[in-house]
Amino acid sequence: MERTQELELHIRESHEPNSSDNTIASPKDASVTNQHKIIRRGGHRWWFMVSLYSLLTLVGQSAATLLGRFYFDNGGNSKWLATFVQSGGFPILIPFLVLFSSRSSSMPNTSHDIKTKSPSFAKLSVLYVSFGIAVSGDNLMYSYGLLYLPVSTYSLLCATQLAFNAVFSYFFNALKLTPYVLNSLVLLTISASVLGLQGNSSDPSNIPKGKYIVGFLCTIGASALYSLVLSLTQVFFDKIVKKETFVVVLKMQIYTAMVATCICVVGLFASGEWRELKGEMQLFKTGRVSYVMTLAWTAVLWQVFAVSSLGLIFEASSLFSNVISTVCLPIVPILAVILFHDKMDGMKVVAMVLAIWGFVSYVFEHYLDYSKLKAARTNTNDRSVF
């Protein structure tokens, strides 16, 4: 009852003209604000955009992951090139940025944008560079994981990012650790532990144990860093930019990907891997054209995934974005068994069931929060009539 009254009070206050946009909200206020944002955007347009972003996230992540494995299985061996294609496709987004920027400049400002003061160029530059460095490190760890692990194992380990996101959202985005969220954390942790104890016994590529451990640790580390970046991105949207336009999403992706790509180019030349790329293309099992197309489509699909996941953060929250990306959990391993003949033994099945159980628990908590807030808004509207 106390929680419902708190939500009703916030909903009434949000319509007052003198709301303090410049003050820093407490964790409790931030939690109510984030939850109210979901309700406020619960119209037909919101559901359409969320559905579209969710579909693109699933398609982009699943296809890009499988193409990344295809690259390594057919003779590709450059970790830095595999990292480069995860961010190097950002130029395809520039025409969309120009288009949406010109549209927004020709349209009248909304009431939300009028009161919003844009952050300084220096502040944005520091943030974009910081995010870009984090993204490049994250992509490199993912490349090592994809190289040294079967794609089914890799995909299941990536599900731990949901658990990491819950922890980071608790500290940065005022997420409440409810019993369903805690249940999800425990299940996803056990799922990752099962895969870790399993070792590489089911790996048809006979990857040495040392490399398997490196791939395991890199994938876990990348999942943690990715979740941290998602939570901080939500802080960036909510506390720094405070604008509700798709241009903000595109700028965030383009500028951070630009920084990450520059770091990858430096790494590619510093490591000496660039000297091996010509021979790698000539010896690629499915041919040169296939080599180029694999890298090109991987780059495009990762940009589709990145923009759509950022769109989900913008429309809902980093938690929701991570939940949707985790839906790939049962998709990628099954496709890996079909396309790459990964062995789906009993341990992997147990890990998958636990991870799916944790995912469902997380989604159910999101549904409960939505239902409570919707009921609170309905009660507030009914009282306002009288």
Q: Across residues 38-50, what is the average pLDDT?
A: 67
Calculate mean pLDDT across residues 31-53: 64
Report the percent of the chain where pLDDT is more than 90: 33
Task: Please give the mean pLDDT across all residues of the chain.
Answer: 79
Which among 285-299, 350-364, 365-379 has the top mean pLDDT? 285-299
Instruction: State yes or no: pLDDT of 354 exceeds 60.
Output: yes
**Does the pLDDT of residue 115 top 90, yes or no?**
no
SS (H, E, C) the chain: CHHHHHHHHHHHHCCCCCCCCCCCCCHHHHHHHHHHHHHHCCCHHHHHHHHHHHHHHHHHHHHHHHHHHHHHHCCCCCHHHHHHHHHCCHHHHHHHHHHHHHHHHHCCCCHHHHCCCCCCHHHHHHHHHHHHHHHHHHHHHHHHHHHHCCHHHHHHHHCHHHHHHHHHHHHHCCCCCCHHHHHHHHHHHHHHHHHHHHCCCCCCCCCCHHHHHHHHHHHHHHHHHHHHHHHHHHHHHHHHHCCCCHHHHHHHHHHHHHHHHHHHHHHHHHCCHHHHHHHHHHCCCCCHHHHHHHHHHHHHHHHHHHHHHHHHHHHCCHHHHHHHHHCHHHHHHHHHHHHHCCCCCHHHHHHHHHHHHHHHHHHHHHHHHHHHHHHHHHHHHHHHHC
